[in-house]
Amino acid sequence: MRKEVLSMKLIANGMKGTADVLPSESYQWQFVEDIMTGQAASYGFKEIRTPVFEHTELFNRSVGDTTDVVQKEMYTFTTKGGESVTLRPEGTAGAARAMLEHGVYNDGYPIKVYYLTSCYRYEKPQKGRQREFHQFGMEVYGAASYFADAEVICAAKSIFDRLGVQNLSLELNSIGCKNCRPKYHNALKEYFEGSKDQLCDTCLSRLDRNPMRILDCKNPECAEVAAKAPTVLDYICDDCREHFDGVKNCLEAADISYTVNPHIVRGLDYYTRTVFEFVSGDIGAQGTVCGGGRYDGLIEELGGQPTPSLGFGMGIERLLLLLESQKIEIPAPPVCDLYIAGMGDAAKMKAFQLVEGVRNSSLIAQGDIVGRGLKAQMKYADKIKAKFSMVIGDNELAENKAKIRNMVSGKETEVPLDENFFDSFFSIYVDSTSAQLIEQFGDFGNE
């Protein structure tokens, strides 16, 4: 039967630009996600979950209709009801929409939320970049102080620190506000006007509407021209400069190294003032593992009152690639504590009952559910690296006792099969665990 299943032709393969997370890999994701959510909780953030699709207008207004994301990468379609909807290309817009729609701001500022979410962009798949990808994000609403910028950056760094990531550089920039950015736009427009013949059609369309987007173009010719463009730090106002200096001072007080990179603009239009990226040279061209900044105009753009806001997004696939490249070991998932094999219908029923009882006591237990013989059951117990095993047959049922075997040492201990079984097994389990800890770390109680 198994050979027949393997030889069957699949109806369809997975979509290009997507990847399955198999049972042999999912524990790595769970470990990283647990670190992320744990650090978020330590900074006072709570989870928010939003739908996978939104009205297209939400992303046009927030992300910006001159960005690559909106112009080239969004998955947009029309529903049977005639509505234009889009699979989320990033997490911030949906979180901001939810905050406004449900009046979360009434809970008092600052509002701190985090999310673990899938995102969708139609890009050429490559290492570290898929069409379906996953992000962890942290967002703060209602905090204008530069201390908030520094706290968000510290929160992102704390995740990398907990994971043991090395050789990660923090790059900062300030891209100004609505008061000083027009001066910079004029300077960029004047500069790029002299190189129009070298710009792609998309960048030519951006020249009048949003010349900053040209700085983010991936076209090599556009990038070469943009490399010599005026830098935004020469045009920011005194308020933005004071805010940026405050961020840097906070990071220095927290002993966090950084580099000012005047070429960072981020790929989404809602950013203002502080922008930042955590970059690694260990995973190839897609080296930005985390990016974020301030977006003080976003809530107002979506129809709310002016609300200072900021946050970041961290790519989970890229982070896992980074952990792999740096050979950072992720703890293996827990294994089966006890496997109980049964021979005969009555023994299998008893095994089933005991397995459920062990599980109800928060340990991991398994028994046969596919109809294996005894030899095959024990082979399976060894394959799943069960710590203990026990066999129940007619003799064990008649005597109302069986032997639990330590699968590492081979030591066997007799236990009753009545209501005292659980106490007996847990005593054996605790003794074995204590012995392993003493062997590994020493007997501290006797030192």
Amino acid at 379: K
* Domain coordinates in residue numbering, the chain: 23-179+236-325, 181-230, 338-429
* CATH architecture of the domain with residue range 338-429: 3-Layer(aba) Sandwich (3.40)
Q: Residue length, the chain?
A: 447
Phi first, then psi: give them for residue 175, nearest 5 degrees: -110, 20
Do 23-179+236-325 and 338-429 show the same overall fold? no
pLDDT of residue 64: 76
> How many Cβ atoms from other residues are within 10 Å of residue 417's Cβ?
20
Say how far apart CA 167 and CA 170 lie, in whole Å. Answer: 10
77, two tokens? 């379609």
Note the pLDDT tens digit of each residue in 259-283. Answer: 999 888 876 678 899 999 999 988 8
Cis peptide before 110 (omega within 30 of 0): yes
Residue 324 in tokens: 């792999």
pLDDT by 10s per residue, the chain, length 447: 444 444 567 788 899 999 999 999 999 999 999 999 999 999 999 999 999 999 999 998 888 766 767 777 899 999 999 999 999 999 999 999 999 999 998 889 999 999 999 999 998 888 878 999 999 999 999 999 999 999 999 999 999 999 999 999 999 999 999 899 889 889 988 898 888 888 898 888 888 888 888 887 878 888 888 888 898 999 999 999 999 999 999 999 999 999 999 888 876 678 899 999 999 988 877 789 999 999 999 999 899 999 999 999 999 999 999 999 999 999 999 999 999 999 999 999 999 999 999 999 889 999 999 999 999 999 999 999 999 999 999 999 999 999 999 999 999 999 999 999 999 999 999 988 765 644 544 554 444
Sheet strand arrangement including 309-315: 46-47, 111-120, 132-141, 309-315, 288-294, 272-280, 168-174, 259-260
What local confidence, expressed as pLDDT, does residue 1 receive?
41
Burial (CB count <10 Å: 0-12, 13-18, 19+), residue 195: middle
| CA–CA distance, 195 with 182 (Å, rounded to integer) | 20
One-letter amino acid identity for 208?
A: D
**For residue 8, what pLDDT is reported?**
61
CATH superfamily entry for domain 23-179+236-325: Bira Bifunctional Protein; Domain 2 (3.30.930.10)
Q: What is the pLDDT of residue 181?
A: 86
Q: For residue 215, what pLDDT is reported?
A: 84
- Residue showing tokens 């005969």: 344
- Counting Cβ atoms within 10 Å, is residue 270 exposed (0-12), middle (13-18) or buried (19+)? buried
Distinct helix (H) and strand (E) counts, the chain: 16, 16
Q: Which residues pair with 126 in a beta bridge?
A: 129
As a whole-number percent, the residues of the chain with pLDDT over 70 amount to: 94
Judged on CB neighbours under 10 Å (0-12, 13-18, 19+), 381 is buried
DSSP 149-202: HHHHHHHHHHHHHHHT--SEEEEEEE---TTTHHHHHHHHHHHHHTTGGGS-HH
- Collapse the DSSP code of 100 into the 3-class scheme (helix H, G, I; strand E, B; otherwise coil) and give the result: helix
